[in-house]
């Protein structure tokens, strides 16, 4: 299922790329900088601290097309190559920031991989959930483009 749920959003996607290529696209810092935010956003390497390891933390700054920035932070909850990547995030970083959980499960599928992603959206109004879903769809377009190019 892809869509807005009672507790968040879900996305299901398939690709001809292997689970290993998808996992690498999700978790390697250079790839993360390319997909996080979609095609029109830049995450400069000097504004990214991203080395997935369970219990670790990450930070990033997005440069938007209108020259505004968004600061992000989060943690790595579960990092199991090539099948699982769970992390938290917030765009309101700082001490005591409320972070939401994002889970990505990657399964082998007919000559490629199948992905199932969820994100919690506590207290998000429906419009914000829909916008979050749309944003993640753009992110996953880039993840899959990167993974498929690595085949």
> What is the CATH number for 18?
3.30.530.20
pLDDT reported for residue 72: 97
Structural domain including 28 reads 3-149
pLDDT reported for residue 115: 97
- Beta strands at 8-15 and 3-4: parallel, antiparallel or unpaired: antiparallel
Tally of domains within the chain: 1
* Sequence-separated (6 or more) residues with CB below 8 Å from residue 140: 11, 13, 35, 115, 117
Residue ranges in the chain whose pLDDT is less than 70: none
What percent of the chain is modeled with pLDDT above 90?
91
- Beta strands at 100-109 and 84-89: parallel, antiparallel or unpaired: antiparallel
pLDDT reported for residue 17: 98
pLDDT reported for residue 76: 98
pLDDT reported for residue 104: 98
Q: Which residues sit opposite 102 in a β-bridge? A: 87, 119
């Amino acid at each position: 299922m892809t869509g807005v749920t009672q507790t968040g959003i879900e996305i299901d996607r398939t690709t001809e790329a292997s689970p290993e290529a998808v996992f690498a696209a999700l978790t390697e810092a250079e790839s993360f900088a390319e997909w996080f935010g979609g095609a029109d956003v830049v995450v400069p390497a000097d504004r990214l601290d991203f080395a997935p390891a369970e219990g670790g933390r990450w930070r990033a700054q997005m440069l938007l097309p209108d020259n505004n920035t968004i600061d992000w932070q989060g943690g790595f909850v579960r990092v199991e190559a090539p099948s699982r990547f769970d992390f938290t995030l917030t765009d309101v970083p700082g001490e005591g920031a409320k972070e939401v959980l994002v889970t990505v499960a990657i399964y082998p599928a007919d000559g490629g991989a199948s992905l199932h992603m969820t994100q919690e959206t506590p207290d998000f109004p429906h419009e914000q959930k829909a916008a979050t879903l749309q944003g993640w769809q753009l992110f996953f377009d880039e993840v899959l483009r990167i993974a498929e190019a690595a085949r």
